[in-house]
Amino acid sequence: MEELWATALPLLRQQVGERNFVTWIEPIRCASDTDGLRLEVPNRFFQEWITRHFMSAIRSALAAAGGGEQCAVRTVVDGVWTPPAMPPLPARRESAGESRPRVPKIGRLVSHYTFATFVVGDANQVVYQAAVAVAAEPGRRFNPLFLHGGVGLGKTHLANALAHEMLARNPRMRMACLSAEAFMNALITSLRQDQMTLFRDRFRQVDALILDDVQFLAGKERTQEEFFHTFNTLYGNNKQIVLTSDKPPAAITGLEQRLKSRFEGGLIADMHPPTLPMRVEILQRKAALLSCAISEDVAWLLARTGGPSVRELEGALTRVVATATLRNLPITIELAQQALGPLAGRGPHVSIETIQEVVSQHFNISLGELKSHRRDRHLAQARQVAMYLCRTLAEASFPVIAEKFGGRDHSTVMHAVRVIEERRVADSVLADAILAIETSLRSRNAA
């Protein structure tokens, strides 16, 4: 079977193109399965991408290599090995002359937004690995890299960390790191001053372009036109492009289809809300930056109170630190509770059983139907919403949630959470329904 895979590889290279082949096909390890081939991939995200985008090409190439015979193929996640597509960051050698700060050619960076200060956990492991790969080999892996997720989940932090790392590795790199709004303002100024040639030279001669909040381009035809040609020039010259947005390309209304197509041609990585342990670590690191120490008990209180957004966590921490500073008191549980006021008792935790009950009532289905394995569309959506809320509000683990929903596999729950996270941004009707359920659950929990 391994010989069949080796024969199919040249055919696959022709079908998917050199860039996709190097990024997605080369890292796959092939082994014989009971009735066909087993393709081993490094993580769940890799597995889903291969299945969605390249499985038909893989089957076609294998059939051609086998003389027309169809071969059974399945992909499995093997988390032990690390593929070439996601290399670890090699150590850098700092010389005495490298102490000066490195700044982008266009725009500026947040000094403390680095890989070292980015908290990595289950919720963002894949996207972090992708960013590390891009920093190690800009323009060769995952181009463009499209980061999307809700407000305050770390997109800008990770984009800045990428920029810092690339500049540290190559101080001569010509980099542009700015917001989509700043790009548009620069364009408008150039148009008014009749300096479009200078504008194009500035942006099309960089080695890396990092554009934050790309959803801002929606509905701005002239800016999209200019960015489209800038994108094509950089991509054609193998220059790295990194984009961030609050939603995936397909969900950005008012964005031209040709831009969506370009964005979807690279790696689209979603930023998930940090888990409770991750929020605790984030708070402790933020406190260290403020030159203050908080106990683990205080960190857990703030993590449960502040919500999933890093900015909400920062707000809660700042409020507590300010109160302690003004009163000249140490930061204790009692002081934190006083500083947060009603928020301190807001605890987001709610039981899985309560979530299942409220979701069933909202969607007018029975608990049995919610937990069943039936795949009717309305049941599947209600079930996914319930799983999502069990993860975000009850903060239960994927295996525990899976067990509570008819003994499913935990990967089913992981998929459900991702689906609802994406649809909640793009589907206003679903977003309203989830908000209504969350409000009902919180009111029950407070009662």
pTM confidence score: 0.59
Q: What's the pLDDT tens digit per position in 253-304?
A: 899 999 999 998 888 888 877 777 788 888 888 888 777 878 888 888 888 7
Q: What is the C-alpha separation between 431 and 202, in angstroms, rounded?
A: 41
Q: What's the pLDDT tens digit per position in 311-344?
A: 778 888 888 888 888 888 888 888 888 777 655 5
pLDDT in tens, the chain (447 residues): 678 888 889 888 888 777 678 777 888 888 877 677 888 887 666 776 777 778 888 888 888 887 767 778 888 876 444 444 334 444 454 444 444 456 778 888 888 888 888 887 767 777 888 888 888 889 887 889 999 887 778 899 999 999 999 999 888 899 999 999 999 999 999 999 999 999 999 999 999 999 999 999 999 999 999 999 999 999 999 999 999 998 888 888 899 999 999 998 888 888 877 777 788 888 888 888 777 878 888 888 888 776 667 777 888 888 888 888 888 888 888 888 877 765 555 555 678 999 999 999 999 999 999 999 888 989 999 999 999 888 877 777 888 899 899 888 888 898 898 888 777 766 767 877 887 887 788 666 555
For the stretch 77-82, contacts whose Cβ atoms lie closer than 8 Å and that sit 24 or more positions apart, written own/partner, are 77/40, 77/41, 77/42, 77/43, 77/44, 77/46, 77/47, 78/29, 78/40, 78/41, 78/42, 79/42, 79/43, 81/29, 81/40, 81/42, 82/42
Domains of the chain: 2-77 (3.30.300.180), 104-270 (3.40.50.300), 276-345 (1.10.8.60), 352-446 (1.10.1750.10)
Q: What's the pLDDT tens digit per position in 69-89?
A: 777 888 887 644 444 433 444
